[in-house]
Amino acid sequence: MGNVVASNNDRVSMKFVTLVSIVSALGGLLFGFDTAVVSGAVGFMEDRFDLSKLQVGWAVSSLIIGCIVGAAMSGVLSDRFGRKRVLIAAAILFIISSIGSAIPDTFSGFVIARIIGGIGIGITSTLCPLYNAEIAPAKYRGRLVALNQLAVVSGIFLTYFVNLWISNSGNEAWGIETAWRWMFGVGAVPGVLFLVLLFFVPESPRWLIKQGQAAAALPILLKIHGEKLAKQEVIDIKNSFANENGSIRQLFKPSLRIVLIVGVGLAILQQVTGINAVMYYAPEIFKATGAGTNAALVQTILVGFINLLFTIIALWLIDKVGRKALLLFGSASMAISLLVIGIAFHSGHTDGPFVLVFVLLYVASFAVSFGPVVWVLMSEIFPNRIRGKATAIASMALWAADYVVSQTFPPLLNTAGPATTFWLYGAMALIAFFFTWRLVPETKGKSLEEIEVLWKR
């Protein structure tokens, strides 16, 4: 009988939690869409607005500037107004940005619209995983938070196809005047869907308890955990707040400084190992190996596919083998692939599928480890009361590092050459391995409150 009750509870909670997570993972889809869409549009825009190389860079990176701002704001805003309300605001920014990027007749109008969208991404990239972590039962938390990353990579993959389809729908002149507008404009559709669905999900129970609204949190926790566990959760969450005052200064105290170092360190390492050099510039890399434009595009789609496939594998593994094992395996394997890619460029052996195979191995290694796991850890390692602000700091660091990598990759490629560039990323992957080995704790299967205790030891 007990078992029957338990499994019913399990079913209720999983249905509820999965629904909630899918909704917030839609935010991830928008993240992937918005970062990738410009890759297909920028060529047309270059002609339409007669852009200089610097402006082309700005067309790509204006969004990331917005992301840094959005991530910075997300913590303070979501601690004050709740996770749900701030996500709703982000959805509205997405819609404004999609339409705003599609209609302008000046380049500066476009840039402003992209910065607005970036603010939306900065917010959702921080809050969606965090919201998922706060609502998920410990047993499935890794998987459910990683769903967000699955949405990100699905967004990237889908966008490659949508871009291709739109640009094939007319001639060159139509492309320059209209195609890129459609590419950005279609983003309004998932934006509206995200906005509407957000009204159906509850506020984070942990945030409610922090606001002194335990009565409102209990029914939500009951749906997630069943009766017995829910009451215990309320007590555990309340206790966790008793030990913290929620000020950001607390994070710099010796006992918690290490959590901040781990969170921010992982965020930066996720980016400086070079993933977005590949994500944003893959066709250029393949062209450097001698591939024609078409072959380069096909190879790029392959990159998107492998990224998606191995993210699914990560989802399956993250609550089984744990976060740390995936990070260690992934960083070692990224370091090896980057070393080999560097050697290939150094020795001039770039013909044939050799470089492609190791780029795919590198992307697979990232997708199974640093891609999803860093977002999962960033959403779960910080104590309850300062989670919003602390996750925001880590997320801001991640976007800032993304900005640096995506800005420096083209000049690095030109001046230092591909071999040195990839070796540099490889060295970072090695640092990521040792950083993880020495500093990152295993959080698999632990409640958020148990994780807090880990740092006190």
Site residues for ligand BGC per CB under 6 A: 35, 149, 152-153, 270, 275-276, 279, 307, 371, 375, 402
Which residue of the chain is nearest ligand BGC when measured via CB? 371
C-alpha 293/C-alpha 289 separation (Å) is: 11
Q: How many other CB atoms are there within 10 angstroms of residue 258's CB atom?
A: 14
Minimal distance, residue 270 CB to ligand BGC, in Å = 6
C-beta of 240 vs 270, nearer to ligand BGC: 270
For residue 50, how far is the Cα from the chain centroid? Answer: 32
- The least CB distance from residue 300 to ligand BGC, in Å, is 13
For the bound state, the minimum distance from the C-beta of residue 377 to ligand BGC, rounded and expressed in Å, comes to: 12
Considering beta carbons, is residue 270 or 421 the nearer one to ligand BGC?
270
Considering the complex, what minimum distance in angstroms separates the CB of residue 32 from ligand BGC? 7
Nearest residue (CB) to ligand BGC, 115 versus 146: 146
Q: Which tokens hold the place of 424? A: 């540099």
If one counts every other C-beta atom within 10 angstroms of the C-beta of residue 287, the result is 15
Question: C-alpha 377: how far from its chain's center?
Answer: 12
Q: Residue 222 or 314: which CB sits closer to ligand BGC?
A: 314
The answer to whether 252 touches 430, Cβ cutoff 8 Å, is no
Q: Least distance (Å) from ligand BGC to the CB of residue 380?
A: 15
Smaller CB separation from ligand BGC, 34 or 233: 34
Indicate the residue among 152 and 297 with the shorter CB distance to ligand BGC. Answer: 152
Residue number, 307 or 379, with CB nearest to ligand BGC: 307
Q: 13 or 365, CB closer to ligand BGC?
A: 365
Whose Cβ is closer to ligand BGC: residue 118's or residue 383's?
A: 118
At closest approach, how far in Å is the CB of 143 from ligand BGC?
16
Residue number with CB closer to ligand BGC (207 or 310): 310
Least Cβ distance, residue 401 to ligand BGC (angstroms): 9
Q: What is the 3-state secondary structure of the chain?
A: CHHHHHHHHHHHHHHHHHHHHHHHHHHHHHHHHHHHHHHHHHHHHHHHHCCCHHHHHHHHHHHHHHHHHHHHHHHHHHHHHCHHHHHHHHHHHHHHHHHHHHCCCCHHHHHHHHHHHHHHHHHHHHHHHHHHHHHCCHHHHHHHHHHHHHHHHHHHHHHHHHHHHHHCCCCHHHHHHHHHHHHHHCCHHHHHHHHHHHCCCCCCHHHHHHCCCHHHHHHHHHHHHCHHHHHHHHHHHHHHHHCCCCCHHHHHCHHHHHHHHHHHHHHHHHHHCCHHHHHHHHHHHHHHCCCCHHHHHHHHHHHHHHHHHHHHHHHHHCCCCCHHHHHHHHHHHHHHHHHHHHHHHHHCCCCCCHHHHHHHHHHHHHHHCHHHHHHHHHHHCCCHHHHHHHHHHHHHHHHHHHHHHHHHHHHHHHHCHHHHHHHHHHHHHHHHHHHHHHHCCCCCCCCHHHHHHHHHC
Report the alpha-carbon distance of residue 321 to residue 331 in Å, rounded.
Answer: 16
Q: Smallest distance, Å, CB 398 to ligand BGC?
A: 6
**Based on CB atoms, which residue is closest to ligand BGC, 248 or 431?**
431
Tell the smallest beta-carbon distance from residue 350 to ligand BGC (Å): 24
Closest contact distance (angstroms) between CB of 138 and ligand BGC is 22
Q: How far is the CB of 124 from ligand BGC (least distance, A)?
A: 12
Name the burial class of residue 170, with classes exposed (0-12), middle (13-18) and buried (19+) by CB atoms within 10 angstroms of its CB: middle
Smallest gap from Cβ 435 to ligand BGC, in A, equals 17
Q: Which is nearer to ligand BGC, 153 or 260 (CB)?
A: 153
